[in-house]
Chain A
Amino acid sequence: MSASPPLPISDQEQDLVQAARGHDMAAFERLVRRYEARVYRLAVHITGNEPDAEDVLQETFLKAYTHLDQFQGQSRFYTWLARIAINEALMRLRKRRGQPEVSLDEEIEAGEATLPRHVQDWRPNPEQLYAESELNRILRGSIASLPLHYRTVFQLRDIDELSTEETAELMGISMPAVKSRLLRARLQLRNKLARYFASRRMVKP
């Protein structure tokens, strides 16, 4: 018998999940604290607005609590939460836009990858930037303006640092599709941010 691969979930986390299944609210609250900010950030980026993101946040943890039995420990706990959160976000987008066809597997439209040559170089400056609510607003607005299937891939791959495989599995698309959407998302987002950073003189000399 060969040794089974290590589970992607830590023992400590597995213990918390186990305790929460037994209705230990303190254990569940520790799981919430560990992941709530990430879930909320994902929800803001996918829905594009705070009221919907708040709803998504609340529903995600409610569903997580009531469906903890379905978490098998085969994926990371955050990946499991992110799947719930994305489904909740898609439901709200459908309601808001009256678009029943909002889905993550729509075809990528053919076309250019948007690569203007005249973007100025810039680098983030942590001290100045990260507490700036204006920057947060720009970042949220920029990602929210990408097509749904681009911003979801960028969120999962680049922000949440899921693997290509995890992202493909979660979104129900192929790995090549993840890669091509990620490239377009990166290039489009970079163009949007370059406009902002260039105008703010955060340009590298």
Chain B
Amino acid sequence: MNCSELLQNLNAYLDDELSPSLKGAAQTHLSACRSCSVVVNTCHSTIQVYRHQYHQLPAFLHRKVMDNVNRRTRPLVR
């Protein structure tokens, strides 16, 4: 596997969807090619940092969501 073949298979490699033989070929290339292994590592890091990004909804936003639903679905009372 050369650099451009690695790039063609980059998504599948990152998602661990390559066949065993292609995966082996990719790993052989990566162990010898510094620039491709940096590409793989930084793509992997990018995905990880987004996936584990801290996120929690502030309590006031939760209340807004519930108030909005309650207010706009309440039957009109005369």
A residues within 8 Å of B by Cβ? 25, 28-29, 32-33, 36-38, 40-41, 54, 57-58, 61-62, 65-66, 113, 115, 117, 119-124, 126, 129-131, 135-136, 139, 143, 154, 158-159, 161, 179, 182-183, 186-187, 189-190, 193-194, 197, 204
CA distance A57 to B57 in the complex (A): 11
Q: A115-B39, A130-B53 are in contact. List 15 more A-B contacts (CB 8 A).
A: A25-B69, A25-B70, A36-B65, A41-B55, A58-B64, A61-B69, A113-B7, A115-B7, A119-B39, A119-B42, A123-B41, A124-B45, A135-B53, A136-B53, A159-B53
CA distance A186 to B44 in the complex (A): 9
Partner pick for B46 among A66, A115, A117, A193, CB 8 A cutoff:
A193
B46–chain A nearest beta-carbon distance, Å:
4
Partner pick for B49 among A58, A65, A139, CB 8 A cutoff:
A139
With both beta carbons as reference points, the residue of chain A lying nearest to B12 in the complex is identified as A179
With both beta carbons as reference points, the residue of chain B lying nearest to A178 in the complex is identified as B11
A125–chain B nearest beta-carbon distance, Å:
10
CA distance A122 to B52 in the complex (A): 16
Q: A36-B62, A62-B68, A62-B72 are in contact. Are A130 and B45 (CB under 8 A)?
A: no
Number of A-B contacts (CB under 8 A): 106
B residues within 8 Å of A by Cβ? 7, 10-11, 14, 35, 38-39, 41-43, 45-57, 61-62, 64-66, 68-70, 72-73
* Binding site secondary structure of chain B: helix
B62–chain A nearest beta-carbon distance, Å:
6
Question: B11, B49, B72: which has the most chain A beta carbons within 10 Å?
Answer: B49
CA distance A119 to B61 in the complex (A): 39
CA distance A175 to B57 in the complex (A): 32
Docked-complex contact B42 and A122, CB < 8 angstroms: yes
CA distance A113 to B8 in the complex (A): 11
Partner pick for A41 among B39, B46, B53, CB 8 A cutoff:
B53
14 A–B pairs (Cβ distance < 8 Å), ordered by A? A29-B66, A32-B62, A36-B62, A37-B55, A54-B64, A115-B39, A119-B39, A121-B42, A123-B45, A131-B54, A139-B50, A139-B53, A159-B51, A186-B14
